Amino acid sequence: MLACRGTYIAGALWLVGTNGFALLIPWLLKLAIDGLRRPLATPHTPAWYAGLIIGAALIQGVIRIFSRTTMLHAGRRIEYLVRDDLYAKLITLDLPYFSRERTGDILSRFANDLTNVRMLLGFGVLNVINTTVLYVAALFLMVRISPYLTIWAVIPFPLAVFAVKRMSASMFRRSRRVQEELSRLTSRVEENVSAAAVIRAYCREDAEIEAFRGISQSYLECNMGVARIRGAMIPIMAATGAAGTLVVLFVGGSRVIANQLTLGDFVAFNGYLAMLVWPTLMLGWILNLIQRGAASMSRLNEVLGAEATVKEPANPAAVGVIGGEVEFRNLSFSYNDEPFLRDFSLKVPKGTRVGIVGPIGSGKSTLMRLIPRLYPVAEGELFIDGVDVNRIPLRQLRAAIGFVPQEGFLFSRTIGDNVAYGKEGATDTEITAAAGLASLTGDIGRFPDGYATLVGERGVTLSGGQKQRTAIARALLKNPAILILDDPLSAVDARTEEEILRGLSSYYGDRTVFIISHRLSALRDCNLIIVMDKGRVVEKGNHRELLSLGGRYAAIHREQQLRQEIETF
Tell me the pLDDT tens digit for each residue of 330-363.
Answer: 998 888 777 788 888 889 999 899 999 988 888 8
Give the helix ranges, DSSP H, for 195-347.
196-201, 205-257, 263-304
Find the mean pLDDT for residues 192-216. Answer: 76
Mean pLDDT of 539-547: 87
**pLDDT at position 382, please?**
92
- Whole-angstrom CA distances from 479 to 37, 400, 516 are 94, 8, 19
Provide the Cα torsion 97, 101, 107, 108; round to 10°. Answer: -130
Q: In the prediction, which pLDDT does 39 show? A: 61
* Phi, psi (deg, nearest 5) at residue 94: -110, 180
76-123 pLDDT, tens digit each:
888 888 888 888 888 888 888 887 777 777 877 887 888 888 888 888
CA distances from 181 to 82, 185, 207 (A): 22, 6, 20
469, pLDDT greater than 80: yes
pLDDT per residue as tens digits for the range 365-399: 889 989 989 888 889 899 999 899 999 998 888 88
Q: Report d(CA 302, CA 296) in Å as an integer.
A: 10
Question: Quick one: which H or E segment has residue 533?
Answer: strand 528-533
Tell me the pLDDT band of 7, cut-offs 50, 70 and 90.
confident
- Whole-angstrom Cα distance, residue 95 to residue 435? 28
pTM above 0.85, yes or no: no
- Domain annotation for the chain: domains and CATH numbers: 2-304 (1.20.1560.10), 326-568 (3.40.50.300)
Task: Report, as an integer, the average pLDDT of 263-269.
Answer: 81
